[in-house]
Amino acid sequence: MSGGEAFGTLPDGREVRKITIGAGDLTTSFLDYGARLQAVHLPGVDHSLTPGSDRMEDYLGPLLYHGALVGPVVNRLTGAKAVIAGRECTFEANQNGHITLHSGAAGTWGKVWEIAESGPSHVVFAVDLPDGEGGFPGNRRIEARFEAEAPATLRMTLTATTDAPTLMNCANHSYWTMDGGETWDGHTLQVLADRVTETTDEDAPTGRVLPVEDLGLDLREGRVLDVETFRVDHNFCLSDAPEALRVAAHLTGRNGLTLTVATTEPGLQFFDNRTSVRPGCVPFEAIAIEAQNWPDAPNQEGFPSIELAPGETYRTVTEWRFSR
């Protein structure tokens, strides 16, 4: 089915649609390009809580991942390879010539998804990925269901299936700002994790899992962020495997508006937005919060598995809850 309104056109002529859903105080807009969360609004707040754009061309350039559903494998795969069911598979090395970032050009962030179902408070996007695309095996189907719930909660439920052993680790890649200021300076961030995956100077996992204190990233009691000193592009380890839905983090603006993130995922990636700059804006405008499995899991012994087998269903739930 189709729905929504015309938003823009891709270079190959395909139309991109925008669809808006809401409930209670919450109004959210999505694009079928990348199953992308484009805007989040609350009454009395004069800015979108997730910075986006009204121009299609921005999502083809500086906002490549902003708000998108990133899969089949979000984050990084070192060596641009992985062993899947005993077979070594190679992928596009789109970061520094030897790392796969966000599945390369085969990523779901760059696809026009089907609007499979929609209503006043929900929308379901679906995409089919062919066997071998980008090096990933299996004919796969991913569905993303977004539901708005009063007073102000947005829930995302992701499911996926495959007809051959493959990798599956998807995440929403939205950036968040409660104040809508020039940067996230002065926001308070609390992350309920006591471990973090160490990274190289290329932001790829080393394989070591360290106490948050070792990297100066202990946010369990909450910390007021300082844009001059706080740098993060790390996966915080919430658990060693997916769990029941539970609160993982709080982001609070100086204005008292709070985003609470709850997820079933074992990891929460934070990125300070030092590079993905919106036209006319500055670095560090908003902070990315990505609920996902631990990055580079197939290449790191002891990391939670992201393999998906035929007959299994991948399922993950994330909620964004807003309160004043």
Q: What is the pLDDT along the chain (324 residues), one digit of tens a residue?
A: 668 899 999 999 999 999 999 999 999 999 999 999 999 999 999 999 999 999 999 999 999 999 999 999 999 999 999 999 999 999 999 999 999 999 999 999 999 999 999 999 999 999 999 999 999 999 999 999 999 999 999 999 999 999 999 999 999 999 999 999 999 999 999 999 999 999 999 999 999 999 999 999 999 999 999 999 999 999 999 999 999 999 999 999 999 999 999 999 999 999 999 998 999 999 999 999 999 999 999 999 999 999 999 999 999 999 999 999
What's residue 1's pLDDT?
62
Rounded Cα–Cα distance for residues 187 and 177 (Å): 8
Query: Are 257 and 238 a contacting pair, CB within 8 Å?
Result: no
Question: Nearest 10 degrees: CA dihedral of 162, 59, 250, 124?
Answer: -40
Query: Are 25 and 40 a contacting pair, CB within 8 Å?
Result: no
Of 196, 203, 187, 199, the C-alpha closest to 250 is 187
CA 319 to chain centre: 12
Query: Are 28 and 50 a contacting pair, CB within 8 Å?
Result: no
Query: Are 4 and 117 a contacting pair, CB within 8 Å?
Result: no
Class of domain 5-323: mainly beta
Boundaries of every domain in the chain: 5-323
What's residue 201's pLDDT?
95
Question: What single DSSP character describes residue 129?
Answer: E
